[in-house]
């Protein structure tokens, strides 16, 4: 039978993981819509920023209460501090996911060069999804070497999103010079893609916090 403190820690870990998996699910809905060229299906992305904020506050209160009751030390204290920061990162990631789906759906149209847009957007979204999924998977990872390996994988995917965003930005600016009357749509689209880059940035922060919780050392924030 688990001790009361361990029960609390297990509950906190489970609730944080649920938040992360909800984001992963939403990003998977986005990817399916783009792969199938059914952009209208982005309206099915169910990410309520308000619900995430409420749940995040509930988890934070649970963490603070647990800290006050049990005054954990060393590794256990690191875990609590990490989870307290991770909930904020989750809220920001959820907001970026919601904004991407909404903004991309509104700005995308057949008047634009859809082939070029999807050629870069799909891999950009895949990297944002993979970085998020990998970061969340560290929550349940016990092996120190695997924690480090997954952290490095998140770094690689985040770097990919930077490169892909720069490539699509360059291509969209070229398209704008060819069709100035569509410049607003292209710029709005670009703004939506920026959200995917930010999602990958948040994944690095989450992975870094989890690495700190499990291995110690310094926290690298994006």
The predicted pLDDT at position 166 comes to 96
Q: Report the distance separating Cα 96 and Cα 94, nearest Å.
A: 5
Q: Report the distance separating Cα 98 and Cα 39, nearest Å.
A: 14
Q: What is the pTM of this model?
A: 0.92
User: For residues 96 and 90, is the Cβ–Cβ distance under 8 A?
Assistant: no
Instruction: Residue count of the chain, please give it.
Output: 222
Is the pLDDT confidence value at 123 over 90?
yes
pLDDT tens sequence across 131-179: 999 999 999 998 999 999 999 999 999 999 999 999 999 999 999 999 9
Mean pLDDT across 115-125: 96
Q: Kindly state the tokens that stand for 169.
A: 């930005």
Question: Can you say whether residue 3 is alpha, beta or left, with left for phi > 0 and alpha for psi between -120 and 50 degrees?
Answer: beta
Mean pLDDT over each residue of the chain, to the nearest integer:
92
- Is domain 4-215 in CATH 1.20.58.220, yes or no? yes
Mean pLDDT across 188-199: 97
Mean pLDDT across 70-98: 91
* All residues at 6 or more sequence positions from 14 whose CB lies less than 8 Å from its CB, including other chains: none
Mean pLDDT across 14-26: 96
- Give the H/E segment covering residue 111: none
**Is residue 75 very low, low, confident or very high in pLDDT (cuts 50, 70, 90)?**
confident
Mean pLDDT across 1-15: 85
Is the pLDDT confidence value at 87 over 70?
yes
The predicted pLDDT at position 1 comes to 47
The predicted pLDDT at position 191 comes to 96
- Look-up of token digits 């700005």: 107
The predicted pLDDT at position 165 comes to 96
Domain ranges across the chain: 4-215
pLDDT tens sequence across 30-72: 999 999 999 999 999 988 888 999 999 999 999 999 999 888 7
Is the pLDDT confidence value at 220 over 60?
no
The predicted pLDDT at position 221 comes to 57
């Amino acid at each position: 039978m688990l001790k009361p403190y361990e029960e609390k820690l297990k509950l906190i870990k489970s609730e944080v993981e649920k938040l992360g998996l909800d984001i992963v699910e939403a990003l998977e809905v986005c990817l399916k819509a783009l792969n199938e060229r059914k952009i209208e299906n982005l309206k099915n992305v169910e990410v309520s920023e308000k619900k995430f904020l409420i749940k995040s506050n509930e988890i934070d209160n649970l963490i603070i209460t647990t800290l006050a009751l049990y005054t954990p030390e060393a590794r256990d204290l690191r875990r609590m501090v990490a989870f307290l920061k991770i909930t904020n990162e989750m809220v920001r990631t959820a907001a970026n996911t919601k904004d991407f789906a909404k903004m991309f759906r509104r700005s995308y149209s057949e008047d634009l060069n859809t082939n070029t847009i999807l050629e870069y957007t799909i891999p950009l979204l895949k990297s944002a999804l993979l970085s998020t999924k990998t970061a969340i998977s560290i929550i349940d990872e016990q092996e120190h070497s695997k924690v480090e390996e997954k952290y490095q994988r998140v770094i690689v995917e985040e770097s990919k999103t930077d490169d892909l965003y720069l490539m699509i930005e360059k291509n969209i600016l070229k398209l704008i010079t060819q069709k100035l009357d569509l410049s607003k749509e292209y710029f709005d689209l670009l703004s939506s893609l920026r959200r995917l880059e930010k999602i990958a940035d948040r994944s690095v922060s989450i992975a870094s916090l989890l690495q700190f919780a499990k291995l110690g050392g310094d926290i690298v924030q994006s």
